């Protein structure tokens, strides 16, 4: 009698453990699907959305900001504030999203800025694929080419997304690699200050 009760208790325990493992598996699967969904959405090409801020004077310096916006507004806001900072310093600034509509000949610019959010420790493919097309040309121009700035946005104060691009950026005149943290209330002001600072250099 006592051993039958013991066996039933064991069976119940096994059922509970199996249910917990099943639930954990389903939660993991759900998280993975959400992650894949997010990464797919953020990598979607946003098309040709050129915006131009006129510069000061007859022959202003020119900057191009190529950024991939994502789900919230942080990367877009950082790109726009950076553009405003450069523009206040006299630059003509063109903003657009990465994609096949963009030329890879960036030699007409004094400054080129690449910007993207970070997902799973990587910048968006939409941006890095464009960079893979444009950077060899920038590397060829070397010191004669435009200054290049790379910015990432993200929630984690780590920089592995920049390390991953080291090879791609080899030979390119990179003057800043900056990460704007989503939890930093000052990130927009910092982006503006960066633009203003770059305009003075
Ligand atoms: C699924 C997921 C993965 C993320 N992975 C990272 C990460 O590896 N490193 C990081 O700094 N931020 C990470 N973040 C935070 C995003 O980078 C942040 O939400 C993004 O910069 C916001 O940009 P947006 O406003 O343009 O969407 C992640 C966010 C989500 C939702």
Judging by DSSP bridges, how do beta strands 122-123 and 174-181 pair with one another? Answer: unpaired
Q: In the chain, what percentage of residues exceed pLDDT 70?
A: 99
Residue with tokens 């104060």: 157
124-170 pLDDT, tens digit each: 999 999 999 999 999 998 888 999 999 999 999 999 999 999 999 99
**pLDDT of res. 2:** 60
Q: 153, 178, 180, 183: which to mutate for ligand 1, most atoms within 8 A of CB?
A: 153
Q: What is the largest CA-CA distance in the chain?
A: 99
**pLDDT of res. 39:** 82
Judging by DSSP bridges, how do beta strands 122-123 and 111-119 pair with one another? Answer: antiparallel
pLDDT at 193 over 90: yes
- Classify domain 51-200 by CATH architecture: 3-Layer(aba) Sandwich (3.40)
Contact 84, 61 (CB under 8 A): no
16-32 pLDDT, tens digit each: 999 999 999 999 999 99
Contact 62, 107 (CB under 8 A): no
Provide the phi-psi class of 67: left if phi over 0, else alpha when psi is between -120 and 50, else beta: beta
Torsion of CA 157, 80, 177, 139, to 10 degrees: 150
Distance of CA 94 to the CA centre of its chain: 18
Residue nearest to atom 2 of ligand 1 (CA): 119
Most confident of 12-16, 78-82, 107-111: 78-82
**pLDDT of res. 1:** 55
Q: 182, 187, 191: which to mutate for ligand 1, most atoms within 8 A of CB?
A: 182
Burial tier of 103 (Cβ tally within 10 Å: 0-12, 13-18, 19+): exposed
Mean predicted lDDT score pLDDT of the chain: 93
Tell whether ligand 1 has an atom less than 6 A from the beta carbon of residue 52.
Answer: no
Judging by DSSP bridges, how do beta strands 174-181 and 51-53 pair with one another? Answer: unpaired
Work out the pLDDT band at 182, boundaries 50, 70, 90. very high
CA of 154 to the centre of ligand 1 (A): 5
**pLDDT of res. 115:** 98
Q: In the chain, what percentage of residues exceed pLDDT 90?
A: 78
**pLDDT of res. 142:** 80
Burial tier of 39 (Cβ tally within 10 Å: 0-12, 13-18, 19+): middle
Backbone angles phi, psi at 108, to 5 degrees: -80, -5
In this structure, how many other beta carbons lie within 10 angstroms of the beta carbon of residue 173?
Answer: 17
Tell whether ligand 1 has an atom less than 6 A from the beta carbon of residue 73.
Answer: yes
Which atom of ligand 1 lies nearest, measured to the CA of 122?
A: 8
What stretches of 67-178 show up as alpha helix (H) in DSSP?
A: 74-88, 125-141, 160-163
């Amino acid at each position: 009698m006592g051993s039958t009760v013991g066996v039933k208790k064991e069976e119940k325990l096994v059922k509970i453990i199996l249910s917990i493992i099943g639930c954990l598996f389903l939660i993991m699967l759900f998280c993975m699907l959400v992650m894949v969904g997010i990464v797919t959405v953020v990598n979607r090409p946003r098309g040709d959305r050129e915006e131009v801020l006129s510069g000061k004077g007859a022959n202003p310096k020119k900057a191009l900001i190529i950024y991939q916006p994502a789900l919230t507004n942080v990367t877009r806001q950082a790109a726009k504030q950076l553009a405003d900072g450069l523009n206040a310093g006299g630059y003509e600034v063109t903003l657009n999203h990465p994609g096949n509509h963009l030329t890879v000949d960036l030699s007409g610019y004094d400054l080129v800025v690449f910007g993207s959010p970070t997902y799973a420790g990587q910048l968006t493919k939409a941006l890095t694929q464009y960079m893979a097309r444009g950077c060899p040309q920038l590397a060829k121009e070397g010191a004669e080419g435009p200054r290049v700035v790379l910015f990432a946005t993200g929630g984690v104060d780590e920089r592995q997304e920049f390390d991953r691009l080291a090879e791609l950026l080899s030979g390119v005149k990179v003057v800043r690699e900056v990460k704007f943290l989503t939890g930093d209330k000052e990130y927009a002001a910092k982006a503006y200050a960066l633009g203003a600072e770059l305009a003075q250099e």
